[in-house]
Chain A
Amino acid sequence: MTETALKEGVTGALSAAAVERLALGEPGWLRERREHAWDVYERTPMPTTKLEEWRHTDLKKKLDLDALRLSELETAPDDPTEWPARLRTTMEEDEEAAGRVVIIDGHVVHTELDASLVDQGVILMSLHDAVDLHGDLVREHLATVAIPAEDGKFAALNAALWGDGVFLFVPQGVRLELPVRVTRWVSEAGTAYFSRALLVAEANSQVSYVDELLSPDFDAQTFASTAVEVFAAAGSRVLCVSVQRLGRGVFYQSMQRTLAQRDSQLDTLNVALGASVSRVDLNARLLGPGANSELLGLYFADGDQHFDFNTSQDHVEPDTCSNLLYKGALDGNSRGIFRGIIRVHPDAQRTDAYQTNRNLLLSRGARADSLPNLEIEADDVRCSHGATVGALDAEARFYLMSRGLGPIQAERLVVLGFLGEVLSKLPLAGVVQKVTRVIEEKLAQQG
């Protein structure tokens, strides 16, 4: 290797020593994987706004890695009565689940899974336990073909420093009727959290995975990084939902990659409501004929929130389909960035790929940037994309006011209707209700 180590972003806390501490007691292959990832991290320059994908999020201004520390908490309370009230309340709202995981400050404090599913071979546990109990499965899938360290600066950082996460495995033909719910809570200001989720759905299985992130508001910048790797084997149906409700002061950095094999249906929904900065990199790969992915996104920013979505739809094999719909409302001085790309690879004939991004600007100070891109290298395709940015529909508001609603109520209703289009595509009624209620709450705060 002739490249010299740049060591950008290597700090007192984010260091080779921290990697070694985490690797203590782990199997050799995992230690090597962490060390390799750290090596990649040191050699990879910090992304700058000169890079197309980071043009609108200036890390120099938005992220101060030097000030971050790693949590020194050895454990977190596993007794629900000691959990923060907000965490408990939000969990109580969730209707029945096939299984649950609760993660507090990076520690998995609770896992449960329906006994009949355990009997059928479904696995739901902390990633650490999975390394011990299902080493081969984890070794095959963790930071290998989905989000390897080579993916970029943050992929390398997460692969080197992840503390814990979720492992979900659904064997061939097993179908979960109810969703698996993960609730995460972050409590320490000024810390950096690195977590991962690994979802492996075997042929003809079915599962929905709902991940909700919560925290209080922080005075000091807090960094939450997650890497979600989803494998959907032939004929499986997988739905992955992320509801981000973190407090102000958080820099949320999420990487998600979905690999859809032949005849599988692999859908995602990203809901962004919280955090000061939210950056989501989502890549959907369609790897076998008949594979289909829906990419849904919904965001509502206010104050000085800064949301940056970077999505890509990779059609690698023929006869695949993907459909993206991201809608956002921007209020206050907030900023929304959507950068999406459809790539149709040379062999991917008969691809159907669509991409729509719509933005609603609710105030003079808000700003939206939309960059929907297409790269098409096959000829027998149907692809389209559309993007709009506009103000609230005055006519719709006027109509509602003529029916007796006040101006504020009317505006809220129009915003809910605008964002509701995304939720209407989601088959999980409980999630739809909850997200609707959270948006209503946020709208009410604008008052």
Chain B
Amino acid sequence: MPENETIQDLNLDEYKYDFVAKTEPVFRAQKGLSEEVVRQISAHKDEPEWMLEFRLKALKVYESKPMPKWGGDLDSLEEVLDEIYFYVRPQEKMERSWDDVPEEIKNTFEKLGIPEAERKMLAGVGAQYESEMVYHSLREEWEKQGVIFDSIEDGLKNHPELFREYFATVIPTADNKFSAMNSAVWSGGSFVYIPKGVSLDTPLQAYFRVNQERMGQFERTLIIIDEGAQAHYIEGCTAPVYSTESFHSGVIEIIVKDNARFRYTTIQNWSNNMYNLVTQRAFVGAGGHMEWLDGNLGSKLTMKYPSCYLMGEGAHGEILSIAYAGDGQHQDTGGKVVHVAPHTTSSIVSKSISKGTGRSTYRGLLKVHKGAHHARSNVECDALLIDATSRTDTYPYIEIEESDAHVGHEASVSKIGEEQLFYLKSRGIAADEAMAMIVRGFIEPIAKLLPMEYAVELNRLIEMEMEGSVG
């Protein structure tokens, strides 16, 4: 940070993604969820019959499942859902060039810095606006090598066999109430296939934007990393601040085949009126390597536990999670690792910061099935509490059915030390700057794994949130 810049100078004390574009959707389904809405979505997508049947079946499963009683406060969610638009079609077709994207939508993504980032450093970009992907592109060099990076709808249209082989195999419809809901009304998301042995050296990025009030977004992403391939996928999410609640419920399915490596990075910065209930899971084959890098900064309530199922011998899973809960926010996040095969290893590192009336919860599962001998796993959770009204919880579940396994869990909760603050102040650093510095140090192990632009973004956000937190 330049020396002359104080936190006030940065003028970042507002949610900077709070702007609304004046776009008129080409179609908007009626409010709430019904069979008619599901049929409309399917018709708009011109889907094969089996997908419509899949959706209708999922709707029944959704209706039969009770609202979860654990996790965050979902008491008023049913009322919210009655007022939500489950499907909003922003434009007629998806574009391959930014020039063809309607002006208002393009301006939105310009403001978010997406086209610029694409030019600089990305292998491919997808952008979702309301319910549909409005833009998708992949650099030619990768296309030539057989990489597929497309909207999920085009994945179904253009690669029906590959799609059907994997779709809903990692996260079955009935996995939970919200995976069932997503299965009924999914719209948008990415379809990614990396062929055997292909290594993408720059990331793919998908950007999710909710613009309209009372909007429900249901991205569905399916990613297949074939044997020995490598890739990194980044998703970012923002929305304007409305007085009513919005809803986002994604299902992300990932298949990491033998000896493949994959990293999935999320920077979730939804506005504070968003319910964010997401199911993310990866199956990892022998010698495969899966990393979830999960940053949850926005939303009203997030319930999200990225998971790795280590199915093949020697598979490795890693979950790095950082959560920030400010006033009125509840981040109920964590991770799950299920060791199914022998000699599998995993690590979960979670860091959370709670400020004001914010609440951050780590909820995790570490399971070693019988037969997964020589499994090794370690879980570390650290929570930082900023104010007397902040709250943090840790609920790690450890279930071990195999004697020849070593697992450990450690968690700590602390307040920023008076001594640390005093030391920095004695070196001439202002109190809130010192506070931000300590917090940055706390999240450093995770922030350093982020692509540069995100690391900078995260640091700025921390500075902005820490402002005025020293009484």
Which of A202-210, A229-237, A385-393 touches B? A385-393
Set of chain B residues within 8 Å of A383, measured between Cβ atoms: 411-414
Q: Which residue of A lies closest to B404 (CB)?
A: A391
Assess whether B399 is interfacial by the CB under 8 Å rule. Answer: yes
Taking CB atoms and an 8 Å cut-off, the chain B residues in 384-427 that contact chain A are 385-415
Taking CB atoms and an 8 Å cut-off, the chain A residues in 356-377 that contact chain B are 359, 361-377
Taking the nearest CB of chain A, how far is it from the CB of B205, in angstroms? 35
Taking the nearest CB of chain A, how far is it from the CB of B388, in angstroms? 5
Given contacts A381-B385, A383-B412, is CB(A374)–CB(B397) below 8 Å? no
Set of chain B residues within 8 Å of A380, measured between Cβ atoms: 385, 388, 415
Q: Which residue of B lies closest to A358 (CB)?
A: B408
Taking the nearest CB of chain B, how far is it from the CB of A221, in angstroms? 26
CB-based contact A379/B387 at 8 Å: yes
- Docked pose: A365 CA to B392 CA in angstroms: 36
- Docked pose: A382 CA to B417 CA in angstroms: 10
- Docked pose: A433 CA to B446 CA in angstroms: 48
Assess whether B194 is interfacial by the CB under 8 Å rule. Answer: no
Taking the nearest CB of chain B, how far is it from the CB of A226, in angstroms? 28
CB-based contact B403/A369 at 8 Å: no
CB-based contact A379/B403 at 8 Å: no
- Docked pose: A301 CA to B256 CA in angstroms: 39
- Docked pose: A391 CA to B393 CA in angstroms: 29
CB-based contact A372/B396 at 8 Å: yes
CB-based contact A389/B405 at 8 Å: yes
- Docked pose: A391 CA to B394 CA in angstroms: 25
- Docked pose: A248 CA to B398 CA in angstroms: 27
CB-based contact A373/B395 at 8 Å: yes
CB-based contact A389/B415 at 8 Å: no
Set of chain B residues within 8 Å of A378, measured between Cβ atoms: 385, 388
- Docked pose: A375 CA to B362 CA in angstroms: 10
Q: Interface size on A (CB < 8 Å)?
A: 35
Interface-centre pick from A370, A376, A391 (highest chain B CB count, 10 A): A376
Assess whether B225 is interfacial by the CB under 8 Å rule. Answer: no
Set of chain B residues within 8 Å of A75, measured between Cβ atoms: none
- Docked pose: A346 CA to B389 CA in angstroms: 7
Assess whether B59 is interfacial by the CB under 8 Å rule. Answer: no
Assess whether B286 is interfacial by the CB under 8 Å rule. Answer: no
CB-based contact B395/A379 at 8 Å: no
Assess whether A49 is interfacial by the CB under 8 Å rule. Answer: no
- Docked pose: A198 CA to B438 CA in angstroms: 49
CB-based contact B400/A379 at 8 Å: no
CB-based contact B385/A376 at 8 Å: yes
Set of chain B residues within 8 Å of A52, measured between Cβ atoms: 70
Set of chain A residues within 8 Å of B404, measured between Cβ atoms: 361, 364, 391
Assess whether B383 is interfacial by the CB under 8 Å rule. Answer: yes
Given contacts A376-B393, A379-B415, A381-B414, is CB(A387)–CB(B398) below 8 Å? yes
- Docked pose: A365 CA to B402 CA in angstroms: 7
CB-based contact A369/B406 at 8 Å: no
CB-based contact A384/B412 at 8 Å: yes
Interface-centre pick from B385, B396, B398, B404 (highest chain A CB count, 10 A): B398
Set of chain B residues within 8 Å of A346, measured between Cβ atoms: 388-389
Assess whether A349 is interfacial by the CB under 8 Å rule. Answer: yes
CB-based contact A366/B403 at 8 Å: yes
Interface-centre pick from A366, A368, A374, A378 (highest chain B CB count, 10 A): A374
CB-based contact B415/A390 at 8 Å: no
**Interface residue from B391, B396, B397, B400 paired with A359 (Cβ < 8 Å):** B400
- Docked pose: A373 CA to B393 CA in angstroms: 7
Q: Which residue of B lies closest to A356 (CB)?
A: B410
Q: Which residue of A lies closest to B392 (CB)?
A: A376
Set of chain A residues within 8 Å of B389, measured between Cβ atoms: 346, 379
Taking the nearest CB of chain A, how far is it from the CB of B391, in angstroms? 5
Set of chain B residues within 8 Å of A362, measured between Cβ atoms: 403
Set of chain A residues within 8 Å of B413, measured between Cβ atoms: 374, 376, 381-384
Taking the nearest CB of chain B, how far is it from the CB of A320, in angstroms? 15
Set of chain A residues within 8 Å of B398, measured between Cβ atoms: 368-371, 387, 389
- Docked pose: A372 CA to B399 CA in angstroms: 12
- Docked pose: A371 CA to B397 CA in angstroms: 5
Q: Which residue of A lies closest to B403 (CB)?
A: A361
Set of chain A residues within 8 Å of B403, measured between Cβ atoms: 361-366, 391
- Docked pose: A365 CA to B371 CA in angstroms: 11
- Docked pose: A364 CA to B407 CA in angstroms: 15
Set of chain A residues within 8 Å of B412, measured between Cβ atoms: 382-384
- Docked pose: A300 CA to B404 CA in angstroms: 18
CB-based contact A389/B407 at 8 Å: yes
CB-based contact A391/B405 at 8 Å: yes
CB-based contact B406/A387 at 8 Å: no
CB-based contact B414/A386 at 8 Å: no
**Interface residue from B386, B391, B401 paired with A367 (Cβ < 8 Å):** B401
- Docked pose: A377 CA to B396 CA in angstroms: 18
CB-based contact A382/B411 at 8 Å: no
Given contacts A374-B413, A379-B387, A379-B388, is CB(A389)–CB(B400) below 8 Å? yes
**Interface residue from B396, B397, B402, B410 paired with A384 (Cβ < 8 Å):** B410
CB-based contact B385/A387 at 8 Å: no
CB-based contact B409/A386 at 8 Å: yes
CB-based contact A379/B386 at 8 Å: yes
Taking CB atoms and an 8 Å cut-off, the chain B residues in 90-116 that contact chain A are none
- Docked pose: A199 CA to B411 CA in angstroms: 34
A-B contacts besides A362-B403, A364-B404, A391-B404, 19 pairs, CB < 8 Å:
A368-B400, A369-B399, A370-B398, A371-B396, A372-B409, A373-B395, A373-B396, A374-B393, A374-B394, A375-B391, A376-B392, A379-B388, A379-B415, A381-B414, A384-B410, A385-B411, A387-B409, A388-B409, A389-B405
